[in-house]
Homo-oligomer: A and B are copies of this chain.
Amino acid sequence: MIRVHIDLIQSYMQVTIAMLLTLVMTASAFAQELTINQGNVVQKELDHPQFVDQLSSWNDGPSKRAIIAFVVQVSTLGGPNYIPPARRIAVFDNDGTLWAEQPFYFQLKFAMDRIKTLAPQYPEWKTTQPFKAALEGDLDTLLSGGKHALLELIMATHAGSTVGEFSKIVKDWLGTAKHPTTGRPYTEMVYQPMLDLLAYLRANEFKTFITSGGGIEFMRVFAEEIYGIPPEQVIGSSIKIEYEYRNGKPVLVRLPELNFINDKAGKPVAINQHIGRRPIAAFGNSDGDLQMLQWTCAGDGKRFCLYVRHTDALREWAYDRDSHIGRLDKGLDQAQTDGWTVVDMQHDWNIIFPSEGN
């Protein structure tokens, strides 16, 4: 009896092991097939006689193929990964993702110029930090306080005006200010491949949003014209605003008080507040975008997270783990762990700024 039982148990075990092996092999084959399928999807798309390369500023490679694979999969009606247009929400950081952020945030330059303009009314600024540093162009001191201190400075110098007046101040500044190293207007310091990507996503019925640490009212002045992103799809840091009557007309007045800093863990919170649903794609370049990417890619169904990595010291700037501005350290680790797409600007982009295409 005992002998028979042992035989039976052995048989059972063999069957079980065989079944497990089959399962593992099936799963592995399935995973391989998925990879092949994803490759096929892209190859089929690229080979299609009517294929127009809307990402021509992107060199062929894993980053470009990952983008196309994602877009084709979520927009193929009847496909297993189809997502209806209403849910095709894509969020983009701005500084270092859509436009450059070196040698320092463009809005910081705007704030410094603003402080210079306002200085005669505030003689105490000559001896009070951080205004003193701003007036003297002492960037080391300005940057030493970290991003939050910078945002506080930026926001504080943006108060007092009505929202209409402030827009005009920004518009006038953008019309004359020049980037300190390239001498180009700031609005030309945008990344052509990202402009192409925005257009490609919108052509596939994505709704594109900016969600940046930059000032919401600052970005809205140019976002529609240079990115095709309307004001209602721009999310950023803000100061408090008050409704009041001036000369018998209602105005919205900007107060010298922070309302919200749209950075790090603030980004998913603001995405929820403004958009009310989880994005299916997120694009950033620094640790400040990490929580936005985590939140996006933790959702169910097909998701896409991408980091732009600044690797081109010649055509742009090369920086990541040790940079004061746009540090990409923890984010790079998680991108590698979670298989997010990491753009290598030097190799993936055949053009960086629009002016290079002329």
Residues of A within 8 A of B (CB): 86, 89, 163, 207, 216-217, 220, 224, 230-234, 238, 241-244, 249-250, 252, 265-266, 268-269, 272-277, 291, 294-295, 298
Measured in the bound complex, the distance between the Cα atoms of B243 and A1 in whole Å is 62
Instruction: Check B277–A232 contact: CB distance below 8 A.
Output: yes
Residue of B nearest to A220 (CB): B276
Copies of this protein in the assembly total 2
Can you report 11 A-B residue pairs in the complex whose CB atoms are below 8 A from each other?
A86-B230, A89-B232, A216-B273, A231-B275, A232-B232, A232-B275, A232-B276, A242-B265, A243-B265, A243-B295, A250-B294
**A277's contact among B207, B231, B244, by CB below 8 Å, is which?**
B231
Instruction: Check A268–B295 contact: CB distance below 8 A.
Output: no
Instruction: Check A273–B243 contact: CB distance below 8 A.
Output: no
Measured in the bound complex, the distance between the Cα atoms of B294 and A216 in whole Å is 24
Chain B's nearest CB lies how many Å from the CB of A42? 29
Instruction: Check A243–B268 contact: CB distance below 8 A.
Output: yes
Instruction: Check A243–B231 contact: CB distance below 8 A.
Output: no
Instruction: Check B269–A242 contact: CB distance below 8 A.
Output: yes
Instruction: Check A272–B230 contact: CB distance below 8 A.
Output: no
Chain B's nearest CB lies how many Å from the CB of A329? 19
Q: Which residues of B contact A275 (CB under 8 A)?
A: 231-232
Measured in the bound complex, the distance between the Cα atoms of B189 and A276 in whole Å is 24
Knowing A216-B273, A241-B273, A269-B241, the reply to whether A295 touches B250 (Cβ < 8 A) is yes
